[in-house]
């Protein structure tokens, strides 16, 4: 399909060039009309048709590649991709009990949380201090807070 589109585009371009050359050699308009009718107009129509074929061919090629990649993913995981995605969502992001915070940040995190893991500025946080320092728990790793560790006061 793509080769046909390129051939049609090239043929249209050649016809337009021939038509332009023929028109440029004639002084009178009535002698230019045959070149316009036989070369330039069909050449322009072929260029439009080639562009349409090219767009359709690339879309079809992209669709076939997406389907091929989807088949490879399903084969590699050996199960339904929707079920695999559900398993990934239910798996905990971080499991460490050590708490960390970034300087100037508003959240406290588990030490293995992807938002602070490997960052040199992350400092250890006392489990009782985050609430006093104005920090809130990270929604990604859901670290334990002081409210979960201590019984409510009466």
pLDDT tens column, 44-68: 888 888 888 888 777 777 787 788 8
Q: Which of 40, 46, 38 is nearest to 4 (CA)?
A: 46
pLDDT of residue 148: 45
Query: Please, which residues bridge with residue 108 across strands?
Result: 101, 137
How much is the pTM? 0.37
Q: Is 79 helix (H, G, I), strand (E, B) or coil?
A: coil
- 38 conformational bin, left if phi > 0, alpha if psi -120 to 50, beta if neither: alpha
Phi and psi (nearest 5°) for 138?
-70, 130
How many residues are present in the chain? 154
CA distance 90 to 3: 48
pLDDT of residue 154: 41
Residue located via tokens 């793509």: 2
pLDDT of residue 78: 58
pLDDT of residue 150: 47
Phi and psi (nearest 5°) for 109?
-130, 165
% of the chain exceeding 70 in pLDDT: 78
């Amino acid at each position: 399909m793509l080769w046909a589109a390129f051939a049609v585009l090239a043929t249209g371009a050649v016809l337009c060039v021939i038509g332009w050359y023929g028109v440029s050699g004639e002084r009178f308009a009535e002698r230019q009309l045959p070149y316009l009718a036989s070369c330039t107009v069909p050449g322009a129509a072929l260029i439009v048709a080639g562009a349409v074929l090219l767009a359709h061919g690339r879309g079809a090629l992209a669709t076939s590649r997406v389907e091929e990649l989807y088949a490879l993913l399903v084969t590699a995981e050996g199960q339904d991709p929707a079920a695999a995605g559900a398993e990934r969502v239910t798996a905990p992001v971080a499991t460490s009990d050590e708490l960390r915070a970034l300087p100037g940040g508003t959240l406290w995190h588990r030490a293995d949380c992807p938002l602070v893991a490997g960052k040199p500025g992350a400092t250890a946080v006392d489990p009782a201090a985050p609430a006093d320092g104005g920090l809130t728990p990270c929604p990604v790793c859901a670290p334990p807070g002081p409210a979960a560790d201590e019984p409510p006061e009466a």
